[in-house]
Amino acid sequence: MKIITILIFILSNIVHAKDYIYEVGGQNETKEDNIIVYPNGKKFIVINGEYAAWKDNKGDYGKERCIGYVLIDIDQSADAHIRCISINQNGEKFWTTRDRRSAVADGGGGVNTYVAGTGKYEQMVGLKCPYGVKFHKDIVWYTHKCNIN
């Protein structure tokens, strides 16, 4: 029985060893000066985020800062285009784009693309990873998962 348990543990780690999971959470406060509301209810929102904390499943952690914009239609669907820079605990950096179209403004899924990197993150340039994001009042939760070959 002990051998079976060990084999299951080893095999489950092998199957998931190539996955890269990135998580971030923080405050997402949008200033009134950064929102334009149209007469029909559409909104154009400029995102100019403060640094938020992140961690990954490889043991790295750090801070990220994102800027961009979100268009919210009268049906509350969202079209978001965000650009971020992340810095890990060793000073290595990576730059990403995050694009999503979703049926609701307070969350949804999209694609995170690594566009530049230093150190170990250079090998991730060009990698596209699906992500999910959820907002609640001024708090945001974000996760993306990549399959690294």
Domain boundaries 19-147, corresponding CATH code: 2.40.160.20
Under the phi-then-psi rule, with left for phi > 0, alpha for psi from -120 to 50, and beta for the rest, what region is 133?
A: beta
Give percent of the chain with pLDDT exceeding 70: 88
Burial (CB count within 10 angstroms: exposed 0-12, middle 13-18, buried 19+), residue 22: buried
pLDDT-derived band at 119 (thresholds 50, 70, 90) equals: very high
Whether the pLDDT of residue 6 is over 80: the answer is: no
Q: Which of 35, 39, 108 is nearest to 78 (CA)?
A: 108
> Tokens at residue 48, please?
């100019």
For 22-77, how does the pLDDT look when each residue is reduced to its tens digit (9 = 90+)?
999 987 777 888 899 999 999 999 988 888 999 999 999 999 999 999 999 999 99
Residue 107 has pLDDT above 70, yes or no: yes
Mean pLDDT over residues 128-139, rounded?
A: 89
Average pLDDT over residues 73-101: 96
pLDDT band (50, 70, 90) for residue 17: low
Task: Output the pTM of the full model.
Answer: 0.82
Position 94 scores a pLDDT of 98
